[in-house]
């Protein structure tokens, strides 16, 4: 019973970790002046990318 719960927690942690890395890169790019504004569709695309890749990474690490 605890295995599905551990898998869910692992997936959530992967999603949060990937999202934090993406946010750090965006803040760095904005701080360097390479990125002025972020369109709304780009923010949505990055959020969906973080969720999707976090789910895949969590599922892959759960098989080991």
Query: pLDDT by residue (tens digit) across 4-13?
Result: 778 889 999 9
Higher pLDDT: 3 or 26? It is 26
Burial of 57 from C-beta contacts in 10 A (0-12 / 13-18 / 19+) = middle
The answer, yes or no, to whether residue 3 has pLDDT greater than 80, is no
Q: Note the pLDDT of residue 35.
A: 85
Q: Are 5 and 40 in contact (CB under 8 A)?
A: no
Cα–Cα distance, 9 to 60 (Å, whole number)? 13
Query: pLDDT by residue (tens digit) across 9-63?
Result: 999 999 999 999 999 999 998 899 888 888 889 889 999 999 999 999 988 886 6
Q: Structural domain boundaries of the chain?
A: 2-62
């Amino acid at each position: 019973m605890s295995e599905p719960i551990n898998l869910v927690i692992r997936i959530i942690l992967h999603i949060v970790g990937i999202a934090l890395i993406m946010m750090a890169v965006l803040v760095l790019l904005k701080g360097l002046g390479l990125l002025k504004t972020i369109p709304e569709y780009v923010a949505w695309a990055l959020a969906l990318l973080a969720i999707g890749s976090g789910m895949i990474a969590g599922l892959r690490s759960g098989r080991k």
